[in-house]
Amino acid sequence: MTHNILAHNILAHNILVLGSGAREHALIEHVRKSSFINMIHVYPGNDGMKRDKVQIINIFKTIEVEQFNQYIVTYCKSNDIEMVIVGSEQYLVNGISDILNDYKIKCFGPSQKASQIEGSKIFSKDFYEQT
């Protein structure tokens, strides 16, 4: 009985995947098999992802990092997105996980500070030399 109550509480979630490469496409392929997922949104996505019946987000103009991060928060709130999966390290380096956490939106990805190891070769080299 407890299992059914838990399953009901987590059923039909909307998620957002950030990225457009093979890694993100593989994540979408696996996540969409879950019966707990209602809709998968993706930005920026690619043509192959359109076949997977995901909602591709379009931003028609170039915007600054801070505006982009705020746009994603607004999009998540207005589309009932409960979790964001960040595939591209550039979004992480730009602090998307930190701002999502500030707004209580679950994010699968490290903080801006932690993502520097992946996103900056100079930071990584200095870090590894110190340890």
Ordered domains of the chain (ranges, CATH): 2-130 (3.40.50.20)
Check residue 105 and give its pLDDT. 97
pLDDT at 11: 60
Distance CA 44, CA 106 (A): 19
Q: What percent of the chain has pLDDT over 90?
A: 37
Give the per-residue pLDDT at 107: 96
CA distance 42 to 50: 10
pLDDT of residue 123: 62
Inform me whether the pLDDT recorded for 15 exceeds 90. yes
- Position 84 pLDDT exceeds 90: yes
Is a pLDDT exceeding 70 seen at residue 100?
A: yes
Q: Are 28 and 40 in contact (CB under 8 A)?
A: yes
The top-scoring range by mean pLDDT among 30-34, 46-50, 106-110, 122-126 is 106-110
Q: Which residue has the higher pLDDT, 51 or 84?
A: 84
| Predicted pLDDT of residue 109 | 92
pLDDT at 63: 77
What stretches of 32-120 show up as alpha helix (H) in DSSP? 47-50, 65-78, 89-93, 96-102, 112-119
What pLDDT score does 125 carry?
62
Confidence category of residue 44, pLDDT binned at 50, 70, 90? confident
What is the pLDDT averaged over residues 57-84? Answer: 87
